Chain A
Amino acid sequence: MSADSKLYLEDVSVTFQTADGPFHALAPVTLNIPRGRFVSLIGPSGCGKSTIFNVVAGLQSPTRGRVLIDGIDATGSIGQVGYMLQKDLLLPWRTVLDNVILGMEVRGVPVAEARDHARPYLQRYGLGGFENRHPGALSGGMRQRAALLRTLLFDSDVILLDEPFGALDAQTKAQMQEWLLKIWTDFGKTVVFVTHDVEEAVYLSDDIHVMATRPGRVIAHIPVDLPRPRPRSVVTTPGFVALKQRCLALLGHPADEESEAA
Chain B
Amino acid sequence: MTLTPPAALARKGFFKAPLALFRRGASAPRPRVVRRLPVERDWPVAAIVAVQVGILVVAIGTWEIAADTGWIDAFFWSRPSAIGETLLTFFESGRAVSDTLFTFRSTILGFALGTTLGAAFGLSFWWSRNYARIVQPYIICFESLPKLALAPLIILVFGIGLASKVALASALTFVVSTLTAYAGVKAVDQDGERLFYSLGATRWQVFTKLVVPSCVPWIISILRVNIGLALTGAVVGEFIASEQGLGRAILYAGQTYEIALVWVAVMVLSVLSITMYVAVSWLESRLRRGVGQ
**Which of A38-46, A86-94, A171-179 forms part of the interface with chain B?**
A86-94
- Give the nearest-CB partner of B194 in chain A: A59
Residues of A within 8 A of B72 (CB): none
Asked whether A103 is an interface residue with its Cβ less than 8 Å from the other chain, the reply is yes
**Which of A11-19, A24-32, A77-85, A204-212 forms part of the interface with chain B?**
A77-85
Which of B198, B209, B292 makes the CB contact (< 8 A) with A58? B198
Q: In the complex, which residues 93-135 of chain A have their Cβ closer than 8 Å to any Cβ of chain B? A: 93-94, 102-103, 105-107, 134
Instruction: Assess whether B200 is in contact with A78, with CB atoms less than 8 Å apart.
Output: yes
The distance in angstroms between the C-alpha atoms of A189 and B287, with both chains bound, is: 41
Instruction: Assess whether B210 is in contact with A91, with CB atoms less than 8 Å apart.
Output: yes
How many residues of chain B are within 8 Å of chain A by beta carbon? Answer: 20
Instruction: Assess whether B205 is in contact with A106, with CB atoms less than 8 Å apart.
Output: yes
In the assembled complex, the CB of A210 is this many whole angstroms from the nearest CB of chain B, namely 25
Please encode chain B, from 205 to 247, with 1 for each CB lying within 8 Å of some chain A CB and 0 for all others.
1000110011010000000000000000000000000000000
Instruction: Assess whether A89 is in contact with B189, with CB atoms less than 8 Å apart.
Output: yes
In the assembled complex, the CB of B213 is this many whole angstroms from the nearest CB of chain A, namely 5
Instruction: Assess whether B213 is in contact with A107, with CB atoms less than 8 Å apart.
Output: no
- Give the nearest-CB partner of A102 in chain B: B199
Q: In the complex, which residues 159-198 of chain B have their Cβ closer than 8 Å to any Cβ of chain A? A: 189, 191-192, 194-198
- Give the nearest-CB partner of A134 in chain B: B292
Asked whether B279 is an interface residue with its Cβ less than 8 Å from the other chain, the reply is no
Which of A80, A87, A92, A94 makes the CB contact (< 8 A) with B191? A87
Residues of B within 8 A of A87 (CB): 191
Asked whether A161 is an interface residue with its Cβ less than 8 Å from the other chain, the reply is no
29 CB < 8 A contacts A-B? A58-B197, A59-B197, A59-B198, A78-B201, A79-B198, A79-B200, A81-B198, A82-B198, A83-B195, A85-B195, A85-B198, A87-B191, A89-B189, A91-B213, A92-B292, A93-B213, A93-B216, A93-B291, A93-B293, A94-B292, A102-B209, A103-B199, A105-B209, A106-B199, A106-B209, A107-B199, A134-B292, A136-B292, A154-B199
Nearest 9 Cβ contacts at the A-B interface: A79-B200, A83-B198, A57-B198, A106-B199, A106-B201, A103-B199, A89-B195, A134-B292, A93-B213
Give 6 A-B pairs besides A79-B201, A93-B213 with Cβ atoms closer than 8 angstroms: A59-B194, A78-B199, A79-B200, A85-B191, A89-B192, A93-B216
